[in-house]
């Protein structure tokens, strides 16, 4: 269904973003083009600015510099990674790119940007009150489901994975505000997962949980390692619901009433 005109404000285009300006103009949306960080930030002067489309050809370092600057003047603005013709959004290269810049979504080649941005706006992106996204990675199914239920009741949109390897391959694991990571898991360990998220997932907070390794390592030892590597919060298992929700909300800066 064609996108209906919505109040999206002027939309920043950083890089070529082929066809985006023309597609947005069909629905009366204003697009402001720029090919440098300085020019892109200069275009963000309008207080109604809510969204930025960033071409995947823009170097990650430049995109992050632009978005860090944008966050200072338009703290609730959201970014979308625009893919080139022939690209596949399930390709790890593009998934990792989107995570690295903290993109709210990925615009597929040939897709209508107005439709995507309107859908994001309806979810609260580009504003102060949007649903936060949480990712749970734990190889114990009961823990995953308990954590999923707790965080969903607190107003989070929740995605759960048995392994971090599975999360890396999933388009759902993009635009993650909170990563809840177990330490001992098959494949990529929670310790290595912390390194990956801290190094390459812009804007994602890390909550590390662990019961230790029975007979071999205390939970306190593993969690201290997680803390040293950059986890934003550590909790020993078992974790009660009130503690999990309180920690999650504190990390992403929302309350139940705001997230719901």
Same domain (yes/no): 118, 141: no
Note the pLDDT of residue 214.
53
Q: What angle do CA 152, 154, 157 make, to 5 degrees?
A: 40
Point out the domain boundary residue: 93, 122, 151: 122
Same domain (yes/no): 52, 149: no
Same domain (yes/no): 137, 117: no
Domain membership of residue 100 (yes or no) is: yes
Note the pLDDT of residue 89.
80
In 3-state terms, what secondary structure has residue 142? helix
Q: How confident is the model at residue 220 (pLDDT cuts 50, 70, 90)?
A: confident
Domain membership of residue 26 (yes or no) is: yes
Same domain (yes/no): 104, 192: no
Same domain (yes/no): 172, 197: yes
Alpha-carbon gap, residue 150 to 94, rounded angstroms? 31
Note the pLDDT of residue 258.
38
In this predicted structure, the answer to whether residue 259 has a pLDDT above a threshold of 50 is no
Which residue is it, tokens 């600057």? 69
Domain membership of residue 6 (yes or no) is: no
Chain Cα centroid distance, residue 211 = 27
Note the pLDDT of residue 255.
58
What's the CATH number where 18 sits?
A: 3.40.50.2300
Alpha-carbon gap, residue 117 to 82, rounded angstroms? 12
**pLDDT for 179-209, tens place per residue?**
999 999 999 999 999 999 999 999 999 999 9
CB 160 within 8 A of CB 144: yes
| pTM value > 0.85 | yes
Domain membership of residue 3 (yes or no) is: no
Domain that holds residue 33: 11-122
In this predicted structure, the answer to whether residue 215 has a pLDDT above a threshold of 50 is no
Same domain (yes/no): 137, 237: yes
Domain membership of residue 55 (yes or no) is: yes
In this predicted structure, the answer to whether residue 9 has a pLDDT above a threshold of 80 is yes
In this predicted structure, the answer to whether residue 7 has a pLDDT above a threshold of 90 is no
How many folded domains does the chain comprise? 2
- How confident is the model over 19-43, as a mean pLDDT? 95
- DSSP per-residue codes, 205-256: EEEEEE--BTTTB-HHHHHHHHHHHT-SEEEESS--HHHHHHHHHHHHT--H
Q: 87 or 14: whose pLDDT is higher?
A: 14
For the chain, report the end-to-end CA distance as a whole number of angstroms. Answer: 28
Same domain (yes/no): 206, 237: yes
In 3-state terms, what secondary structure has residue 134? strand
Q: How confident is the model at residue 213 (pLDDT cuts 50, 70, 90)?
A: low
In this predicted structure, the answer to whether residue 218 has a pLDDT above a threshold of 50 is yes
Domain membership of residue 179 (yes or no) is: yes
* Token duo for residue 166: 């599975």
Same domain (yes/no): 94, 164: no
- How confident is the model over 7-23, as a mean pLDDT? 94
Q: How confident is the model at residue 217 (pLDDT cuts 50, 70, 90)?
A: low
Alpha-carbon gap, residue 89 to 91, rounded angstroms? 5
What are the distances in angstroms from CA 110 to CA 101, 115, 175? 22, 12, 22
31-40, 117-126, 169-178, 251-260: segment of lowest average pLDDT: 251-260
Same domain (yes/no): 162, 86: no
Same domain (yes/no): 174, 254: yes
**pLDDT for 86-144, tens place per residue?**
888 888 999 999 999 999 999 999 899 999 999 999 999 998 889 999 999 999 999 99
**pLDDT for 139-163, tens place per residue?**
999 999 999 999 999 999 999 999 9
* Token duo for residue 220: 């306190």
Note the pLDDT of residue 4.
47
Same domain (yes/no): 104, 161: no
In 3-state terms, what secondary structure has residue 143? helix
- DSSP per-residue codes, 59-125: -HHHHHHHHHHHHHHSTT-EEEEEPPTT--TTSHHHHHHHHHHT-SEEE-TT--HHHHHHHHHHTTT
């Amino acid at each position: 269904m064609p996108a209906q005109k919505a109040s999206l404000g002027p939309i920043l285009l950083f890089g070529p973003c082929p066809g985006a300006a023309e597609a947005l103009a069909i629905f009366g949306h204003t697009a402001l083009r720029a090919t440098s960080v300085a020019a892109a930030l200069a275009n963000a002067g309008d207080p109604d600015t809510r969204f930025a489309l960033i071409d995947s050809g823009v170097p990650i370092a430049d995109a992050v510099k632009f978005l860090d600057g944008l966050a200072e003047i338009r703290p609730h603005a959201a970014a979308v990674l625009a893919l080139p013709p022939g690209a596949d959004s399930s390709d790890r290269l593009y998934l990792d790119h989107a995570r690295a810049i903290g993109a709210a979504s990925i615009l597929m080649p040939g897709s209508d940007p107005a439709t995507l941005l309107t859908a994001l706006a309806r979810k609260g992106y580009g504003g102060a009150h949007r649903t936060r996204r949480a990712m749970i990675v734990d190889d114990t199914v009961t823990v995953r489901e308990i954590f999923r239920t707790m965080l969903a009741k607190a107003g989070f949109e929740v995605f759960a994975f048995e392994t971090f390897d599975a999360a890396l391959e999933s388009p759902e694991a993009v635009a993650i505000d909170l990563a809840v990571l177990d330490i001992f898991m098959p494949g990529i360990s929670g310790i290595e997962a912390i390194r990956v998220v801290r190094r390459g997932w812009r804007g994602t907070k890390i909550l590390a949980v662990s019961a230790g390794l029975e007979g071999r390592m205390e939970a306190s030892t593993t969690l201290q390692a997680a803390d040293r590597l950059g986890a934003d919060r550590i909790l020993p298992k078992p974790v009660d619901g009130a503690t999990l929700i309180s920690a999650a909300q504190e990390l992403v800066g929302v309350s139940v009433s705001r997230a719901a």
